[in-house]
Amino acid sequence: MPEAYRRLAVILGALTALGPLGVDMYLPAFPAMQAGLSASAAEVQRTLATFLLGMAAGQLVVGPLADRHGRRAPMLGGLVLFALASAGCALAATAGQLTGLRLLQALGGCAGMVVARAMVRDLCDERGTVRMMSMLMLVMGAAPILAPLLGSALLAVAGWRAIFWALATYGVVAAAVVWFALPESLPRDARRRDGPVAIVAVYAAILRDRRFLAHALAGAVPMTGLFGYLVASPQLLMVLHGLGPTQYGFAFGVNAFGLILAAQVVARLVRAHPPARLLVLSLWGAAGAGLAVPLAVATGLLWPLVAAFFLFMTTLGAVLPLASALAMGPMGRVAGSASALIGTLQFSGGALVGVLLGLVAPQSPWPVAVLMALAGAAGLALHLALRAPPRGA
């Protein structure tokens, strides 16, 4: 891959990492935030569910804006909002204030994910998209490894509010990088001029595309298992199994390393094997890994649980770049809207999971274990059902 593409992958990966950073960096601080804000565990968990909801809803707005105004302008606006909302989170006095500001933070941060996928589609063919997506995951995958460790260090030195000041700084630096170093990838003559009715019609047309749904849901449904892990892992690993914030960060980082490793293996395999075949094999792996989680929970031991989480994240690292590339492949001039739908499907599931896990037996590992088993199996089943042509076709 040319050096210019590698540089682009680094920039886009860093921008896509806004979402993981917004989630993962403050997870070790949940107990401290409960004490500092005089809030319950459910109220602090709600700040995460709200962030995921904002990521889901915001992408539906950013996608059409990126198709209409180009890729740079929506990205810059989102980064400014992300930085300002992050500073507001650092100053929040109550859990309610923090929840509202987390929504604004997500509405800004989601621009990175939408625009990055759309720019890759602008510049690459199908196999090139898989390789570029895998490179993005290499860069953005560093976020889940480093973010909990950095969050733990900031928590120990300066308290949980320093985590949000760090996110605000990241947003400012990212905006400067976009302004000076990220070229526009969508020419003016390729931009759409859709009004609100036409935008809804575009979304409806994309959702009627069986190929798009087969691949988008292949990534979005197993990803609900990832979000379940994100929401439940602080309670499971730190409270139930007694890990400290630093130990939790290392355990979290090991799982993220598995995700990165699988993405890089896929980037090599796609040169010699059809992406569609690799996706089916990866989905079978995710289904098997999901079933391993309840078995690990049944042992009552920590390390079988960590190992099962690792297997699930590793298979997900193979599924995500393949599913995104195959879903985006035929989208052409509606790449921004298609990218938004992919992100909305992923994060709306995450928001629902966050709410449900906060209500259903939050002290028990069984709800998230069952969720991960169902997520892996359902992702495979939906993909196989939707990719088959309807009867009579």
Phi, psi of 32 (to 5 degrees): -65, -35
In this structure, are residues 226 and 313 in contact, taking their beta carbons and an 8 Å threshold?
Answer: yes
What span, in angstroms and rounded, lies between the C-alpha atoms of 80 and 175? 7
**Which one, of 303, 302, 342, 307, lies nearest residue 325 by Cα?**
342
What span, in angstroms and rounded, lies between the C-alpha atoms of 117 and 136? 9
Element (H, E) at 272: none
**Which one, of 34, 57, 61, lies nearest residue 47 by Cα?**
34
In this structure, are residues 30 and 196 in contact, taking their beta carbons and an 8 Å threshold?
Answer: no
What span, in angstroms and rounded, lies between the C-alpha atoms of 37 and 44? 9
Q: How many other CB atoms are there within 10 angstroms of residue 66's CB atom?
A: 30
Q: Identify the residue whose tokens are 């969508």.
A: 186
In this structure, are residues 229 and 284 in contact, taking their beta carbons and an 8 Å threshold?
Answer: no
Task: Determine the angle formed by the axes of helices 302-328 and 275-299, rounding to 10 degrees.
Answer: 160
3-state secondary structure of 191: coil
Spell out the domains of the chain, with CATH numbers in brackets: 3-182+192-387 (1.20.1250.20)
Distance (Å) of CA 52 to CA 49, 167, 272: 5, 16, 36
pLDDT for 80: 93
Burial class (CB in 10 A: 0-12, 13-18, 19+), 381: middle
What span, in angstroms and rounded, lies between the C-alpha atoms of 165 and 174? 14
What span, in angstroms and rounded, lies between the C-alpha atoms of 179 and 199? 28
Q: Identify the residue whose tokens are 């890089």.
A: 264
**Which one, of 33, 8, 26, lies nearest residue 86 by Cα?**
26
The number of residues in the chain equals: 393
Three-state SS sequence of 73-138: HHHHHHHHHHHHHHHHHHHCCCHHHHHHHHHHHHHHHHHHHHHHHHHHHHHCCHHHHHHHHHHHHH
Q: What is 4-29 written as a DSSP string? A: HHHHHHHHHHHHHTHHHHHHHTTGGG
Q: Identify the residue whose tokens are 């939906």.
A: 382
393 residues of the chain, pLDDT tens digit each: 566 667 777 788 888 888 878 887 887 888 888 888 888 877 887 888 788 888 888 888 887 888 777 788 888 999 999 999 999 999 998 888 999 999 999 999 888 888 887 787 777 766 666 677 767 766 666 666 677 778 888 888 888 899 999 999 999 999 998 888 877 777 777 676 767 777 788 888 888 888 888 998 998 899 888 888 877 777 777 777 777 777 777 777 787 778 878 878 887 887 888 888 999 999 999 999 999 999 998 988 888 888 898 999 899 888 988 888 888 777 666 767 787 788 788 777 766 776 677 666 556 788 888 889 999 999 999 999 887 665 544
Q: Which amino acid would we find at residue 312?
A: F
Q: Which amino acid would we find at residue 26?
A: Y
Distance (Å) of CA 151 to CA 79, 87, 257: 20, 16, 18
pLDDT for 125: 66
